[in-house]
Chains A and B, each alone.
Chain A
């Protein structure tokens, strides 16, 4: 079984600031896949960034980057130059693949203040 822990239920930062959301996970698999999903009030789940566990290099997507520490089983998300449109629930998720589906953390509600 896999578990995901997000220890920050809610965070609030000013527009243009940098914010880091934390995520730790537990899995017995040697290879697995990690994701951050964003869910704005519209409820659409949007893929933000993804990482294969066997790849050492941290993934980046424009203003979004991750700090993947495999030994510590940590997968934090950094949002640079935060924008009002970044306000949403952010879920960290893991899967071993094989059409197992995603295991989600409880989420972090991120609020970007003008």
Chain B
């Protein structure tokens, strides 16, 4: 299995809703990442988990809450989002200590906040 699987593919939520994005990989990668991508812009790093521990939080608002329950699974919990949070959310994973192998990305969740 050489894929990163993200669910759901599309999500529409109200500003008072609570929802979660899910990311799963079975490649044995021990580093996992959340990126946010607005239209016609590059992905921006949000969070990094290394060996299931949060290692980087790029000053992301607390309405985004990441979780890494195990080495294969990464979640992003969403609460009280704003319309400007509408974007494509990409998950990625990489081999720890084999950075030249690059990062494998999921196909993303397109989030719309109404």
A interface residues, Cβ below 8 angstroms from B: 33, 35, 37, 42-47, 50, 52, 91, 95, 97-107
Contact = CB atoms under 8 A, between A and B. Distances in A.
Contact-size category for B: 20 to 34
Contact of A45 (B31, B101, B105): B105
Interface string B80-114: 00000000101010101101111111111010000
Given A35-B102, A43-B108, A50-B100, A99 B43 contact: no
Contacts, number: 59
B42 A91 contact: yes
Contacts of A105: 42
Nearest to B103: A102
**Residue from A95, A99, A107 whose CB has the most chain B CB atoms within 10 Å:** A99
B49 to A, nearest CB: 8
A71 to B, nearest CB: 21
Given A99-B50, A101-B48, A101-B56, A107 B42 contact: yes
B33 A43 contact: no
12 contacts: A33-B99, A37-B105, A44-B105, A44-B106, A45-B43, A47-B102, A97-B99, A98-B99, A99-B56, A101-B35, A102-B103, A105-B42
